[in-house]
Amino acid sequence: MLPKTVAAYAKYIDHTLLKPTATPNEIRSLCEDAIRYGFFSVCVNPAYVPLSRSLLENEAVALCTVVGFPFGATSPRNKAQETAWAVEHGADEIDMVINLGWAKAGDWRAVQIDINEVVRAADDKLVKVIIENCYLSDEEKAAACQCSVDAGAHFVKTSTGFGTAGASTEDVALMRQTVGPDIGVKASGGIRNLQVMQAMIEAGASRIGASSGVAIIQELTESLD
């Protein structure tokens, strides 16, 4: 079911800036926009967690960061350490990337352990698992989602935005079918307008990762005028 108000749409959005050239001033603008438009969170690279925390203090906007990003090929220990540092410095949510090589090799036990190390390091903070669907078959996508559930993660997520493709409604529907109604599904990668956002929600997404959140909300507001 689609949201009924602009504010409800905004609460779906993780307002995202993960490009490697992002500057402190751009992060400031990101946080200011998130406050202004009422987005659920900002999503930034780990180096900007302390700055973002200072800008969002006492605001109703969560702080999300990424771990093992964008390739997922660091060790479970490194991912856990990165997670613990981010949480210590104010992160509310962790978006981690799975080890895609292990997934392609069918070593699902290693994939699950990798995810669980991050879940444990995050303590009570919410963990989203980036599957990076563009590199996986449907069977592998489903297996990665099941590993995420079994490892105690709270969300599965389609993409980093740095792979060969972003979110698709087909993948979102598959992920929702696999994880069931109680685990979140985040659609991310290539969501740049209202029509695409609505399609992702109708397919089963409960969160939207987008760098175009402001444009989407402005488009929605204009459509209601």
Q: Does domain 6-224 have CATH number 3.40.47.10?
A: no
In the numeric block, which tokens belong to residue 79?
A: 């991912």
In the numeric block, which tokens belong to residue 114?
A: 């990798």
Res 224: pLDDT: 82
Task: Say if pTM beats, i.e. exceeds, 0.75.
Answer: yes
Res 1: pLDDT: 85
* CB-count exposure of residue 26 (10 Å: 0-12, 13-18, 19+): middle
Res 119: pLDDT: 98
Residue 95 annotated to the active site = yes
Domain boundaries defined on the chain: 6-224
Per-residue pLDDT of the chain (225 residues; tens, 9 = 90+): 899 999 999 999 999 999 999 999 999 999 999 999 999 999 999 999 999 999 999 999 999 999 999 999 999 999 999 999 999 999 999 999 999 999 999 999 999 999 999 999 999 999 999 999 999 999 999 999 999 999 999 999 999 999 999 999 999 999 999 999 999 999 999 999 999 999 999 999 999 999 999 999 999 999 886
CA torsion angle 114 129 52 23 (round to 10): 90
Residue 225 annotated to the active site = no
Q: One of 125, 128, 141, 186 is an active-site residue; which one?
A: 186
Residue 186 annotated to the active site = yes
Q: One of 95, 114, 128, 171 is an active-site residue; which one?
A: 95
Helix axes 24-37, 49-56, angle to 10 degrees: 40
| Pairwise CA distance, residues 144 & 110, whole Å | 11
Contact 205, 187 (CB under 8 A): yes
Q: One of 92, 141, 157, 171 is an active-site residue; which one?
A: 157
